[in-house]
Amino acid sequence: MLVFGGLPLFYMELALGQYQRCGCFTVWNRICPMFKGIGLSIFVISTYVAFYYNTIIAWSVYYLFSSFNYEVPWLSCNNSWNSDNCTTFEQRRIQSLPMNMSTSSAQEFFENNILEIQYSKGIDDVGGVKWKMFLCLLGVFSIVYFSLWKGIKSSGKVVWVTATLPYIVLLVLLVRGCTLPGSYEGIIYYLKPNWSMLLQPGVWIDAAAQIFFSLGPGFGVLLALSSYNKFNNNCYKDALITSAVNCCTSFFAGFAVFSVLGYMAHVHKKSVADVSREDVGLIFIVYPEAIATLKGSVFWAIIFFVMLTTLGLDTTFGGLEAICTGILDEFPKLKRHRELFVAFLLVYCLLGGLATTTYGGIYVVQLLDTYGAPISILFVVFLESVAVSWIYGVNRFSDDIESMIGTRPGIFWRGCWAVVSPVFLLMLFTLSVVSDSGPVYGTYQYPSWSIGIGWIIVCSSLICIPLYVIYKFFTLEGSVCERLRKMIQPSELPKHVQRQEAEPIFL
């Protein structure tokens, strides 16, 4: 997945942004004007992600502030949000209560206090906006605004903190996790492969989603950020190093998580599979419950949720900066009013995310998480690789890279861009459509109409591409052949290429 999908496309977008010096809209004027709708699709997908992803950060912020107490509030069952079925960690450990006959205090803190899900029957009854979640979300967007309002210079300074601090915290959590009883079993469970899972399409789709969310191809982030690089920056080396660091970080983080899961399994006398969860509950229920049992739990809770918050902010900075760069490059006059534009964009995302702050907001979050990006982004990146390799031309693209770094991409990269990656992406997209089983949260079953809404969300981003093709065709002048020729030929050149062509040549 990484070698044939993530890494080649990561390298392609880095090189594309660095050479063309623009964002996800304008770049298609210089590659293939017909596919400018890809930029619109990226914008729609990125806004869907912003609608729910920042709410998840808001949950982390709420946990963080709740941790500043004598003891973490999810340790006990003596709170106003607790039910009669609430059991503390000690009770579950001593009495060996079945997990399906009781509710942990950590689960009730998340579901009854943060989500307040007990006041919602499902996605068809989400209720009103919760003021405390709205304030947390407003706080997140305020941080994002003051990090992005001055452009890459301001966000770049903030990223020094948000990108490096998590590594320090992760190392501390790993060391602590490995000293806990049972951690070895958790690590063995993490490292032991289950080869039969490779036959399940959902595993490949989840792996693709992980690769694309962590590396960023298809979201316009790489195009935007690499457009600020120096022209002769070695983007090939950047691609290799960044991908390797990203992969190692994910692998490293797994040890920190599963060492603690092993500890939980050891205490409960359960298997690791029985105590783990596949949804957001792993981070917001299981891990906080484990932290609550440690000596100095307040300290561990604070550093854990500081790490989660900074990781989330770091990710949302990139996604929203990609939108800003794309639109401001397309409409240069807006650059003089960047502060107002960023404010308008974030208010739009805040309003779009209001549904996720309701009593049934978790159901909206899971719906957007399932249909907002993972499926459509595969098709968007497929078309992107086709447009660059087949229409713009893999040889021309290789020439562009050689003019920047002095080295022409090898046969492996050209083969991946032209054949392997497009085929791979199309197969994954087809699998994701055919094998879709809908969003999941606990035992809740989504109604069929909500699944239909999910597919409308998918189509709303993808429909931008053919609609723009039709728009472009009918707005151009000339015969059918002349219009088609104009649609696939670059309509403008990067400024550095224009200067080179304008320079007189003396023989």
Higher pLDDT, 506 or 95: 95
SS (H, E, C) 225-279: HHCCCCCCCCHHHHHHHHHHHHHHHHHHHHHHHHHHHHHHHHHHCCCHHHHCCCC
Average pLDDT, the chain: 88
pLDDT of residue 507: 33
State what percent of residues in the chain have pLDDT above 90: 55
Cβ count near 172 (within 10 Å): 16
Lowest mean pLDDT among 270-284, 326-340, 361-375: 270-284
d(CA 118, CA 102): 16
**DSSP states of 267-281:** HHT--HHHH--SSTH
C-alpha distances in Å from residue 404, one per residue of 164, 185, 493: 29, 49, 15
Name the residue type at position 124.
Answer: D
Is the per-residue pLDDT at 2 higher than 80?
A: no
Helical (H) or strand (E) element with 155: helix 152-178
For residue 504, pLDDT over 50 is answered with: no
Burial class of residue 251 in the structure, from the number of CB atoms within 10 Å of its CB (0-12 exposed, 13-18 middle, 19+ buried): exposed
pLDDT band at 380 (very low <50, low <70, confident <90, very high): very high
Query: Residue 181: what residue type?
Result: P
pLDDT of 502 strictly over 50: no
| Helix 374-386 × helix 448-462 angle, to 10° | 20
Confidence of residue 499 (pLDDT cuts 50, 70, 90): low
Per residue in 384-402, pLDDT tens? 999 999 999 999 999 999 9
Would you place residue 100 in the very low, low, confident or very high pLDDT band (cuts 50, 70, 90)? low
pLDDT of residue 98: 57
Model confidence band, residue 506 (pLDDT cutoffs 50, 70, 90) = very low
For 253-262, how does the pLDDT look when each residue is reduced to its tens digit (9 = 90+)? Answer: 889 889 999 9
More confident residue, 53 or 195: 53
Higher-pLDDT residue of 56, 193:
56
Angstrom CA distances, 95 to 91, 105, 307, stand at: 6, 15, 34
Q: Is 314 annotated as a binding residue?
A: yes
pLDDT at 362: 95
Residues 6+ away with beta carbon under 8 Å from 386: 422
- Structural contact between residues 170 and 257, judged by C-beta atoms closer than 8 angstroms: no
Q: Given this model, what pLDDT does residue 101 score?
A: 64
- Asked if 322 and 46 count as a contact pair (C-beta separation under 8 A), the reply is yes
Residue with tokens 């996720």: 356
294 is in an annotated binding site: no
Q: Give the pLDDT band of residue 159 (cuts 50, 70, 90).
A: confident
Average pLDDT over residues 470-482: 92
What are the residues whose beta carbons fall under 8 Å from the beta carbon of 163, sequence distance 6 or more? 314
Task: Give me the mean pLDDT over the 478-485 stretch.
Answer: 92
Is 234 a known ligand-binding residue?
no
Instruction: Say if residue 297's pLDDT is above 60.
Output: yes
Quick check: helix, strand or coil at residue 506?
A: coil
Is pLDDT above 90 for 249? no
Which band of pLDDT confidence, cut at 50, 70 and 90, is reported for residue 500? low
Domains, the chain, in order of start with CATH, read: 2-502 (1.20.1740)
What is the spatial distance between Cα 400 and Cα 493, in angstroms, rounded to a whole number? 12
255 φ/ψ angles, rounded to the nearest 5 degrees: -65, -40
Helical pair 201-215 and 374-386, crossing angle rounded to 10 deg: 70
pLDDT score recorded for residue 62:
96
**pLDDT score of 151 more than 80:** no
Q: Please answer whether residues 316 and 144 qualify as being in contact, where contact means their C-beta atoms are separated by less than 8 angstroms.
A: yes
Query: Does 438 or 473 have the greater pLDDT score?
Result: 473
pLDDT tens digit string along 186-212?
Answer: 999 989 888 887 777 777 777 777 777
Residue 351: pLDDT band by 50, 70, 90 thresholds?
very high
What's the start-to-end Cα distance of the chain, in Å? 50
* Contact between residue 41 and residue 465 where contact means Cβ atoms under 8 Å apart: yes
CA angle 75, 80, 86 (to 5 degrees): 50
**pLDDT tops 90 at residue 12:** yes
- Please give the biggest Cα pair distance in the chain: 91
Q: Does the annotation place 311 within a ligand binding site?
A: yes
DSSP result, 413-479: HHHIIIIIHHHHHHHHHHHHHHT-----BTTBPPPHHHHHHHHHHHHHHHTHHHHHHHHHHHHS-S-
pLDDT of residue 387: 95
Residue type, 252: F
Burial of 298 (0-12, 13-18, 19+ CB in 10 A): middle
Predicted confidence (pLDDT) per residue in 402-428, tens digit: 999 999 999 999 999 999 999 988 988
Average pLDDT of 159-179?
85
